[in-house]
Amino acid sequence: MAETDAGNGPPPFEDAFASDDVEQRIYGSILQAREPTAASAIADSADCDPKTARKYLGWFDDLGIVTRHDGHPATYERNDAYFEWRRINQLAADHSVEELQDRVRELTTRITEYEATYDAASPATVDAVAAAEGSDELTIDAVYSDLADWATAREERNRYERARQQRTGSEREQASR
């Protein structure tokens, strides 16, 4: 590989955060954690001193990015509610009320079509095997794909609706000043 090509492309997976500062490495480690994790394990993953990891994890806890669980040792986990809140705030900041309403309508139409196709109120109530066996057009893979898309559309509609409500509320607040 030529020296000029060395900076192109992503770093190897095992060194994904190697070029980041310690705060970013700890942040990246907590994002990858799927269960409460001790500061020492996060420090190992972030290649830093456990004391440094605890310092940043305390700060992340204060910000709501992680949840600290008391115990010996204390453990930390990603606060999914914080990241959901951030996504909704970003949607509200990036889109007008009209754009948010349009997206809610599009998603509602898609959801309604799935409800009609599968004669069900939610994807969780659909027996995928029975749906595929009862159809001449749908394979089991197509049904599973539809169910995943349907579930995602419901989650996305909820986010866009919450962002729309937030945006509408902030616009009303500004108008009343």
Model confidence pLDDT, tens digit, residues 52-75:
999 999 999 999 999 999 999 999
pLDDT of residue 5: 47
Residue with tokens 């990603």: 78
pLDDT of residue 12: 52
Query: How far apart (Å, rounded) are the C-alpha atoms in residues 68 and 75?
Result: 6
In this prediction, what percent of the chain has a pLDDT beyond 70? Answer: 84
Query: How far apart (Å, rounded) are the C-alpha atoms in residues 128 and 131?
Result: 5
Query: In this structure, what token pair is assigned to residue 8?
Result: 């192109």
Which is it for the CA torsion 133, 134, 139, 143, positive or negative?
negative
pLDDT of residue 111: 98
Distance of CA 128 to the CA centre of its chain: 25
The list of the chain residues with pLDDT below 50 reads 1-6, 16-17
Residue 78: phi, psi to the nearest 5?
A: -60, 135
Kindly report the length of the chain: 177
pLDDT of residue 114: 97
pLDDT of residue 17: 46
